[in-house]
Structure 1
Amino acid sequence: MYRAPSTMSLLCLEASARLGSFTAAAQELHLTQGAVSRQVQALEGRLDVRLFTRRRDALVPTDAGRYYLDEITPLLQRLERATVNVTAFKGRGGGLALSVGASLGAYWLIPHLPAFTRAHGEITLNLSTRVGPADFKSGAIDASLEFGDGQRPGLRSDFVAALHLSPYAAPAWVKRHGARVDASTPRTALLNHHTLPDAWEQWFSFEQIDASPGRDGPRFEIMAMALNAAVAGLGVVLLPDYMAQDMVQAGRLQRLSPRTWRYARGYYLVYPEESQRLPALQTFRTWLLGLSQAEGAQTDPTATP
């Protein structure tokens, strides 16, 4: 009967590869250099493959070693987090490592988090941010609240909210160029963000405006940068209401259309299959979907606007 390698042998392998030395790994793991070396040799014997090329100045993982490390490192990180959580919270809560888009996190999620922490003080949220789909291979995150189409092979995706957009500009810009976005609006005044590269073309189609092609305005990596560019008077930007409303109330932005257009993609809670068993993720998922429903954001993203 096959038996999986021991956790200690995997820890010795990971530390030796990361530190490039059996000696350094032994110091970190509070073992002798010989014990670490024997653990790795036993693992190589069980797998019948060399995991390291031994050099005088360093250990270098072989191709097989790099592949094996890529597979086991996330598992070891999850094991460490599970141990910390069960020790600290006795299985009743724990930490949840969540990746979230920068603009969605700052303008929508974080303002709602005080209510979550009051209701679920047993859970500690650890937030990180990135642009684009989250990478779960490192094992550093449990779930991601991200923008997309919900089609992530090998991952579960729960639809959270649609993205509704309208055009906004600074009052000073409106005074110079008018309070409508139409075919006469300079293309160079149309502010863009990387996540919605075709947004303006689709907006013109939605409004049935025959806009001639031309050089668009500046392109920004995230929505928050495009918002601030519009506030500074650089042009017009398509934004969701949750991002623009504070600036509108402060008199720093003005909405240029009474209509709202829904983008084809939306926001999803994405996580690996194994993460769904985490009590903290189950609790957060239930709260998040309930929040979305309460705000009326649970609109079918495939429906016709």
Structure 2
Amino acid sequence: MTSLRRSLPSANALFVFEAAARFLSFTRAAAELNVTQSAVSRMIARLEAHLEAKLFIRTATGIELTDDGRQLYHAVTGSFQHIEMAIEAIRARHGGGGMVTLSLSSAFAMHWIMPRLDRFQALHPGIDLRFQLVRGEPIGPVEDVDFAIRYNFPRDADHESWPLMAEKVLPVCSPAYLAAHGPLEHGRDLGRHTLVHLSGSTRIPWSRYLAEFDYAPPTGSRSLTFSDYSLVIQAAISGRGIALGWWHVVAHELAQKELVPAAPEILETGNHYYLVASNRRPLRDPAILVRDWLLAEMLALQAQIRAD
């Protein structure tokens, strides 16, 4: 440890380096650490001078890690994760359950987790949940969290994964909208309907769903467009139109009859969502309880929907 202290200009250098390497941005690292961008630059320069090695290189689009920088980043993140786990284990021993962190889409958190949160807290009062929200598709690396919900996560030796649900997409609307406007019907244009869209590049837009089941194209319909999927679902719940509902997001509203199918066809893509954990972060007892609860809740919901 004495050798490590001599190898660093200060202990704070590791925190500054980790943030800069994670974001690949001195500006974003500065914002997270609540310091100026120039302070981050100076600390990185001190660290590089101390190590006599370049950790970052500037490119046309920003900064990248050098080979030395990547080696140090992997070592630092692994060490920080072990420290974090040790702290959580100490807290769990002395205070009940501890904190479990989940990375998931904002829509899944809002429409699936939140309706069940009271039940979870009653069952596990000693466990606190922390959410790391992903806007859009739940893809990307699994870092600094106990679990992540990811779309089509590839199997590899660095992660453990559990199938959570198959991807199913169906058009949904409120019961009041269905009573006023009727369902989607084959052979009729969509002029009497309002379709709620998610802006940007969407894997399954309305045009794909309609073409898949030989409905008329959406050219005659009115539209509402939002940049956040939670708002798309909320618009359907409030009777503003028909939205494409990913089953794992809207299942609670379907079970509660806040939403109903606007057509009988369900698009099953063959893709899946998984609960994923990094093998670099061993599962603690509170995390195992959260995993088992998530899997059990999803199975119970699937059984409920089949029974209905």
* TM-score tier (shorter): 0.5 to 0.7
The alpha carbon displacement at 1:94 in A equals 2.7
Percent of aligned pairs sharing the same letter: 19
CA distance in 2, matches of 1:187, 1:71: 56
CA 1:87–1:232 in 2, change beyond 3 Å: closer, same or farther?
A: closer
- Is residue 2:251 matched to residue 1:242? yes
Instruction: Report the aligned-residue RMSD.
Output: 4.5
* 1:19-42 Cα distance to aligned partner (Å, 9 max, x none): 99xxxxxxxxxxxxxxx9xx9699
The alpha carbon displacement at 1:113 in A equals 3.0
| Partner residue of 2:118 out of 114, 121, 126 | 114
Q: How many matched pairs?
A: 266
CA 1:274–1:101 in 2, change beyond 3 Å: closer, same or farther?
A: same
CA distance in 2, matches of 1:80, 1:156: 21
TM-score (norm 2): 0.65
| Partner residue of 1:292 out of 295, 298, 301 | 298
CA distance in 2, matches of 1:263, 1:197: 11
Q: Match for 2:153: what amino acid?
A: G
CA 1:243–1:184 in 2, change beyond 3 Å: closer, same or farther?
A: farther
Superposition pairs of residues 85-234 of structure 1, within 5 angstroms: 85-90=88-93, 93-131=97-135, 132-133=137-138, 135-136=140-141, 139-146=143-150, 148-151=151-154, 154-169=158-173, 174=178, 177-182=181-186, 183-186=188-191, 189-193=194-198, 197-204=203-210, 208-212=213-217, 214=219, 217-231=223-237, 234=240
Q: Match for 2:92: what amino acid?
A: F
TM-score (norm 1): 0.65
CA 1:86–1:243 in 2, change beyond 3 Å: closer, same or farther?
A: closer
Unaligned runs of 5+ in 2: 21-25, 27-42, 58-62
* Mapped contact 1:150–1:158 kept (Cα < 8 A): no
Q: Match for 1:90: what amino acid?
A: R
* Mapped contact 2:181–2:193 kept (Cα < 8 A): no
The alpha carbon displacement at 1:50 in A equals 5.2
* 1:51-93 Cα distance to aligned partner (Å, 9 max, x none): 599xxxxxx9983564345323422431332232122223984
* Mapped contact 1:192–1:220 kept (Cα < 8 A): yes
* Mapped contact 1:98–1:144 kept (Cα < 8 A): yes
Q: Match for 1:14: what amino acid?
A: L
Larger Rg: 1
Unaligned runs of 5+ in 1: 21-35, 54-59, 300-305
